[in-house]
Structure formats: C-alpha cells, structure tokens
Amino acid sequence: MRRLGAPGRTATVLLAASIGVLATGTAQAQTGGTGSDGYWAVPPPFVASYLPGDNGGHNSFDYQQKNACVTRDLGQKEVVLREKPWGQQYLQIEEAQQLARAKTGSAGGGIRVAVIDTGVTRHPYLPRLEGGGDYVSAGDNGLNDCDGHGTEVAGIIAAQTPQDQIGFTGVAPDSTIVSIRQSSQNYSKPDSAGGTSGQQTGGRQQNDANGAGTTLSLAQAIVRAVNLNVDVINMSVDNCRPADGSITDGERAIQAAVRYAVDRNVVVVAAAGNTSETCPQNDQADPNKPRSIVTPPWFSDDVLSVAAIDETGGVAPFSVHGPWVSVAAPGTNIISLDPSKGSSQLANQTIENDKATPIQGTSFAAPYVAGVAALVAAQYPNLNARQIMNRIRVTAQHPGAQGGRDNFTGFGVVNPVAALTAIVPAEEGLAAQSGRQLPSGLPDASPKNWTPMIVALAGTGGGLVVLLVVMFVMRTIRRTR
C-alpha cells in the first residue's frame, strides 16, 4: 500500500498501518487521593458527574488531514497469505467456532461489536459493517480508515473469509462491527500559533503530539457505542502518561464512561498498551507505584485489559505491565485485512522507518478477546457483562503465580474453548474453591509409639531367660551322670 491524497507529499509504500498507544497531553491534571500517596495502581472511585454525552457521534470541530491515507500500490505484486496465523492456531479459534455453531448455529451471530479506533474501511470479508460515528471528521461516519489500524482490528474480530481458500478467519465472523472513528495519526487540529495540538502517540511515531483524538472524545465514543446498543466494545487506542498520583478530567470521563457501559450490560475490552519513550515499562520495584498509567486499562473493575504474548507463549517485551492487566492474547506477527480501499487482500506487514516489519502490538491482542466475548455473549444470552468478563478471566490459562494472576498476563492467556464450555461456580450459585497453602517440606513426624518395641524386647528377654534355664538344667543333669 502507499499513502496518497495529501497535497505536496511523496507516496510511501505500505502493506498495513499500525497505531500504538495514544496519549493526551491536553487535559489538566487533577491531584488528590488517599493521603499523600495519591492515585497510583488503584484509581479513585468513579464520579458519575464526569460522564459526558456522545455529542451525536461527532466532535464539535473537524480535524484537518495532514498526511496521506494508506492505500494499496496498484503496481505492487499481490501478496497471497493462505497460512493460518499462529495466534489463531494457538487459541484454537476454529475449534471454538465449531462449538459455538453446534450450540447456537453461528459464531457470534446477533452480537454487535463496537470498534472505537481509526475507523474501518469496507472490505469484502466484513459483510456486516455499520458506521456508528466519527469524532475526526463530521462528514464521515466511521467508515473511512485513513490509518488502516481500525480495519486490521475489526478483521481479527469479525472477518468472514472463504474457508476453502484462506486460513485466516475472524474470531466471531458472524458478529456485526459498528465502527466509531475516534483517533488518527494523519489528522490534526490547528492551533492559534499555526502548529497543531492533539493526541500523543507512543507507538509507530514517537512523541508525535499532532494526531486527532483526546481522552474526552474517547469517553464520548464509549457512550456513543452504548447508545447504539452494542454488546461489546473494543478499544485498541489507549492513553499513557507518567504515574504521579493524579488523575485528569479526561481520565475521569473515561472512568465514568466504562462504568456506564458495563452497568448497561456492555463488555468493555481494551489494549494494555505498548511501551515507548513516552510510556516506559512498569518494571519498578514497587508494583503498587507504577511508572506509567494506561487508560482505560487502569479502570480494571470495568475493563478487560489485554496484554500481548509472542510465539513462545510468554509476554511480549513491548506489552505494558500493571496490576490492571486482566488476560493476554497473541500480539505479534499478526495477519488481518488489508485496510486500503478497494482491496480484497490480507496484510501482515507495516513500514517502520522505511523498513517492512510485522504487525504487532497489544492493539491486536485486544480484538482476540473481544471476539471471544462475542462468542460467549451469543452462547450465554442470560449472562450480564460482568459475568461474561468473569467467565473469560476464570477460564484463562492461569500463570504460576500466587492467586493465579500476575502483572504480566493477568489471569493468563485467554482460552476460547474453555470460555464456551467450562462450568463457572459463580454462575451456578456455588462458592469458588478457596486457595490453600501447601507445605514446602516433609510433614511433621508422628508421636512415637513405644508399645511395639516394649513387647518385642519383653518377648526377646523372656526367650533368653527360658534359654538360660534350659541350659542350666541340661548342665546339671550332665554333671549328675
């Protein structure tokens, strides 16, 4: 693909576009907390008054396009990808789909999944796609993906590909995608000084404050998705900032928005975030005082935060750690839909610093979990959002850590087959089995029982006495003779 359409710019060949962690610097910090420590790993209680409206699915202004949109170079040789992605095989997605179809007749049918991202471009393998709003350009409705990121995310959730020709498939191919464009690296808002201000990126373009999207518009987009009666929300765009014990007004708005969503029976899934120069890894000594705060994952009571694993099954090095991580899913060497307009192909690479690299990031781990949530919601229509989120957590492949979770993969790698088949005690009204500390050494010695030894010694002594008596009698008889 190549970028076209921006005046005076040279076209750049791309296979796919990728956005990493998004951060805003526009909101004013608001300090506070419990004592002098403020808000660190645990956020403050949500305040309902911060909940914004959805503003009709649009911003109060239009961002201006500054870069060309991603598109396929028509002179480029087609790249045919027929192999199954490793992540799809690792999670046994097709086995889970077979179970879902045997139970419900479809794989996520009737479930609406909102993709709050850079928009979703129409693609032959996304037959059920709706526009839900556009906070970048009021003239659009979420179906113009200039960056390519949102289309790739949507493909992992719901791509419906010819099973006899292509190995790749979406997790819930019978679900409906509702696209809400909220952010873009290729648009910006002019300011009075002639520069730009907007959302900071911590992914492909380091320290770029010239993008579209803010924490407030992200909160508005969440409310918009709920008002459109979706069942699942996927957010592969995050806000990452240094942890300083504070919380911003925009973060409070997101916190209120995700609570609004879950209380209205909508499952909320968000990427855990990628490390960058502006989003350092949480590798400090005290896990309760992280170096970076990532939102929406910070509000883990209402969000399934998804870390990324690589082909080894271990956590990917770029995946941000934190006590808010819920589960993990594949996030490296991604295959998804080619996001360029008019394409019917797949993509597995992006251009970074003029070099083709595999698509990767927690952005692409989150849609695996959103797809699983869609399968579970379709199969268990009586479960509410919190029960679906709990089912996904308790059926994950737990790490070998105390309590069955850690700050790297949360409760472990998501397990779609188990999420569809396991009996969850809480759903049956049963108390969960409590953990028990096992002894690390040998068990304590039993109290000594001396009775057997006493009996044995007494018997032996008695035998010796009898033997001596017999020997004495025999000697006496011999002398008498």
> Catalytic site residues?
117, 149, 363
Which residues are CB-contacts of 460 (< 8 A; sequence separation ≥ 6)?
A: none
Rounded CA gap, 217 and 258, in Å?
Answer: 13
Specify which residues 453 forms β-bridges with.
none
What are 343's two structure tokens? 């394409």
Nearest to residue 201, comparing CAs of 71, 470, 18, 54?
A: 18
Helix 385-394 and helix 362-379: axis angle, to 10°? 120
Long-range contacts of 60-63 (CB under 8 A, 24+ apart): 61/189, 62/136, 62/137, 62/138, 62/139, 63/136, 63/137, 63/184, 63/187, 63/188, 63/189, 63/198, 63/212
Q: Compute φ and ψ for 420, nearest 5 degrees.
A: -90, -15
Question: What is the rounded end-to-end Cα distance, in angstroms, of the chain?
Answer: 126
Q: What is the 3-class SS of 291-328, one letter each residue?
A: CEEEECCCCCCCCEEEEEECCCCCECCCECCCCCCCEE
Cβ(120)–Cβ(84) under 8 Å?
no
Please tell me what DSSP assigns to residue 116.
E
Sequence length of the chain is 481
Distances (CA, A) of 91 to 171, 233, 309: 10, 21, 12
The span from the CA of 468 to the CA of 463, in Å, is 9
The enclosing H or E element of 474 equals helix 451-480
For 120, 133, 223, 381, the CA distances from 130, given in Å and listed in that order, are 9, 10, 17, 22
- Alpha-carbon distance of 145 to 117, in angstroms, equals 9
Residues 170 and 336: their CA atoms lie apart, in Å, by 8
Burial of 358: CB neighbours in 10 Å, binned 0-12, 13-18, 19+: middle
Q: Which tokens in the block code for residue 399?
A: 């790490």
